[in-house]
Amino acid sequence: MYKEKVLSGYRITLPKRIRERFGIRIGDEVIIDVEDGKIVIKVEGVHEDPVLGMAGISGKERIKLKDYEESVVEELEEKIRRSK
């Protein structure tokens, strides 16, 4: 979970880890919808690989094994920090 401030013009910044995880680049389009009382942001045109999706990784580009391993370690460290 990420907490972001609403800036002037009602803008928010997508955190770097989210952008990297979904391969979001400047100029990409996202879909903003409301589902069950929640604001949902979907990335246009990204088709998630089911295996990588289970690992919490998707995006437009193939990832290197080293990047995958680093992202898994970062995700685990973040979950440990939040659980304290």
- Condensed to tens digits (0 to 9), the pLDDT of residues 49-78 reads 555 555 555 544 445 555 667 777 888 888
Q: What pLDDT is attached to residue 80?
A: 85
> Residue 43 contacts by C-beta under 8 Å, 6 or more apart in sequence?
22, 23, 24, 28, 30, 31
Question: What six digits make up the tokens of 59?
Answer: 């995006």
Each residue's pLDDT tens digit, 7-64: 999 999 999 888 888 888 888 888 999 999 999 998 876 545 555 555 555 544 445 5
Q: What's the whole-model pTM score?
A: 0.49
* 80 HSE (CA, 13 A, CB side): 6
